[in-house]
Homo-oligomer: A and B are copies of this chain.
Amino acid sequence: MPRPSVREQLVDAAMECFHERGFNGTGIQDIARTAGVPKGSVYNHFDSKEALAAEVMDRYAVSRRLEMLRDESLAPVPRLRAHFRYLAEDLERFLFERGCMFGNFGTELSNQSAAMRGNVDSRLNLWASAVTQVLEEARAAGALTTSLAPDQLGQFLVNAWEGAVLRAKVARSRNPLDGFFEVFDSLVA
């Protein structure tokens, strides 16, 4: 396997640092140290910490596996549940400490960077649309008992998930995520 490029090492290191300490809590020096490269080489690859954060967001978005939401080998409701289960397992690997990078950056940077706010807004909209799409399939299949509109419910579920992830981070516990699934089953199944 080829050795990861310095650029890739830097994106990996930045993702780790931003997850653990947030954007403002992370210095370029921290990222360079975590990547094991000299500080100067960060600026050989990225114009700014914000440019690095944008690339971290791209990579994080891929790791959310939105394509799971289009996997027609599963019926809509089990498919949606499997997607959130996947996200929960990813959080559990890090003992719920990391939270969601969309939520973390959205909270920390919305007032500080219009570009980052727009970036997080787009990601969350894209995700909520993909969730809504599955709920529309569920409705068409007669598999939604609630009278809520799929779009309403899709937006709500994404937001409620973000809140549950935040609470899991604060409580260092999976209980908030379990609570999400219980209400999910009552709203969606």
Contact = CB atoms under 8 A, between A and B. Distances in A.
Interface of A: 20-22, 24-25, 97, 99, 103-104, 106-108, 110-112, 117, 120-121, 124, 146-148, 152-153, 155-156, 158-164, 166-167, 169-172, 175-176, 179-180, 182-183, 186-187
Contacts of A166: 103, 106-107, 159, 162-163, 166
A179 to B, nearest CB: 5
A185 to B, nearest CB: 10
5 contacts: A21-B111, A104-B108, A152-B179, A156-B183, A162-B166
Contacts of A153: 183
Nearest to A19: B111
Contact of A159 (B22, B110, B158, B164): B164
Contact of A107 (B112, B124, B159, B169): B169
Contact of A99 (B104, B107, B182): B107
B163 A164 contact: yes
Contact of A160 (B25, B111, B160, B169): B160
A150 B97 CA distance: 27
A156 B160 contact: yes
Contacts of A172: 110, 117
Contacts of A97: 110-111
Contacts of A103: 107, 163, 166
Given A103-B107, A104-B107, A111-B21, A162 B155 contact: no
